Amino acid sequence: MMRGELTAVFFGLAAAASWGAGDFSGGVATKRSHVYVVILLSHIVGLVGLLALIGLFGEPFPALRDLGIGALGGISGAIGVAALYTGLSRGRMGVVAPLTAVITGIVPVVFGLFTEGLPQHYQLIGFGVAFLAVWLISNDNGAAGLRWVDLQIPVVAGLGFGLFFVSIGEVSDNAILWPLVGARTASILMMTFLVLFARPGSRPGLAQLGVIALVGLTDTAGNAFFALASSLGRLDIAAILGSLYPATTVLLARIILDERLTRRQGIGVVTALIAVILIAA
């Protein structure tokens, strides 16, 4: 594999690690604060972080098209985040996050088949192994009793994230951070309206604000890593690698919340590593 493609694989995995940590923190924060408030404040933190990075690296202002595409991705991504955090706060993280990831990975893969053609055959096998890994990780004690109502939130979240992936993958190769600024600006405006409409009664305390700030920083880092991965390599490869984020969420839930990993979930983590090797081969 070319050096640039290996770098894209690294950034895709970095995105997965960052998003997994952000989703875990977001699920924890949403247990005590309204989901719209968590998203609004975390996205404000993320926007500040993006502007700081732009000031540090001096990325030139992009075409308005790139900002517009980023804004559309920000709206779909905000819908996905709202659905995911709601699901994480109500159900077991080891089920909601991986099911969301399965749907998230399908959307850009289908899009990539039409725009970039078929990847290498071993990468296709890696895609299938990655989906298997996500499903194994999502199997909580056999996932017995899952009903359609349990799947609605992951489906909405996955479609929102998948469309965000596609949007960011469509911006110019030299536009990395500014489209994310467009995405964050659109999501902040959307969440501000929803907060004013919903009028959540309680305000997060100082401890909660720290967790929410962590959500914003890790989520923004994940978005930046994904934008780099998709600009250096294929969109579907970046999306599949990014969709492995549930491994981080599940491991953090195991370490911090003492959510036990079943044997099947442990096999899923190992399977995810095999998928990464195939995709990066």
**Residue 93's pLDDT is what?**
61
**DSSP notation for 109-154:** HHHHHHHT----HHHHHHHHHHHHHHHHHH-SGGGTT--HHHHHHH
Instruction: Find out whether 180 and 220 touch, Cβ atoms under 8 Å.
Output: yes
Q: Which of 5-14, 24-33, 37-46, 197-206 has the highest mean pLDDT?
A: 37-46
The DSSP string of 77-111 is HHHHHHHHHHHHHHS-HHHHHHHHHHHHHHHHHHH
- How far is 234 from 109, CA to CA, in rounded Å? 10
Distance between CA 170 and CA 166 in Å, rounded?
6
Q: Are 278 and 47 in contact (CB under 8 A)?
A: no
Question: Cα–Cα distance between 171 and 168 in angstroms, integer?
Answer: 6
Q: Which of 11, 188, 26, 166 is nearest to 96 (CA)?
A: 26
- pLDDT tens digit string along 86-117? 777 776 566 666 777 777 877 887 887 787 77
How far CA 146 is from CA of 102, 136, 213, 251, in Å, comes to 16, 14, 33, 22
- Specify the pLDDT at position 235: 82
Classified as helix, coil or strand, 225 is helix
Q: What are the pLDDT digits (tens) for 252-269?
A: 877 887 766 677 777 876
Q: State residue 18's pLDDT score.
A: 94
DSSP state of 60: P
142: left (phi over 0), alpha (psi -120 to 50) or beta: left
Q: What percent of the chain has pLDDT over 90?
A: 27
42 pLDDT exceeds 80? yes
pLDDT tens readout for residues 135-175: 776 655 544 445 555 567 888 888 999 899 899 888 887 88
Given a cut of 80, is residue 181 above it in pLDDT? yes
**Average pLDDT of the residues of the chain:** 82
Residue 193 has pLDDT above 80, yes or no: yes
* Between 18 and 201, the higher pLDDT residue: 18
Burial of 201 (0-12, 13-18, 19+ CB in 10 A): exposed
Residues 53-85 pLDDT 10s = 999 888 999 899 999 999 999 999 999 988 887
Report the alpha-carbon distance of residue 39 to residue 148 in Å, rounded.
26
- Domain segments of the chain as ranges: 3-280
For residue 243, the 8-state DSSP code is T
Helical residues (DSSP H) of the chain, grouped into ranges:
3-30, 35-57, 64-90, 93-115, 121-138, 148-169, 178-198, 206-232, 235-242, 246-256, 263-280
Of 135-139, 204-208, 225-229, 268-272, the one with minimum mean pLDDT is 135-139
